[in-house]
Amino acid sequence: MIRFKSQATADLLMFNEHGIKVLELWGKAVTPQGILLRSDMPAALTAIEAFLAQASASANQANGAPLADDEADEAGKAGHVTWRARLAPLVKTLQQCMAEDADLTWQIR
> pLDDT tens digit string along 15-54?
999 999 999 999 999 999 999 999 999 999 999 999 999 9
**Is residue 94 helix, strand or coil?**
helix
Q: Which residues pair with 2 in a beta bridge?
A: 14, 108
Domain range enclosing 18? 2-108
- Look at phi and psi of residue 79 and say left if phi exceeds 0, alpha if psi is from -120 to 50, else beta: left
Give yes or no for a contact between 7 and 96, defined as CB atoms under 8 angstroms apart.
no
Domain count, the chain: 1
Cα 72 from chain centroid (whole Å): 19
**How does residue 60 score in pLDDT terms, banded at 50, 70 and 90?**
low
pLDDT tens for each residue of 26-37: 999 999 999 999
- Res. 56 pLDDT band, cuts 50 70 90: confident
Q: What is the pTM of this model?
A: 0.81
Q: What is the mean pLDDT of residues 89-105?
A: 98
Cα-only R_g, the chain: 15
Beta bridge partners of 105: 5, 35
CB 104 within 8 A of CB 2: no
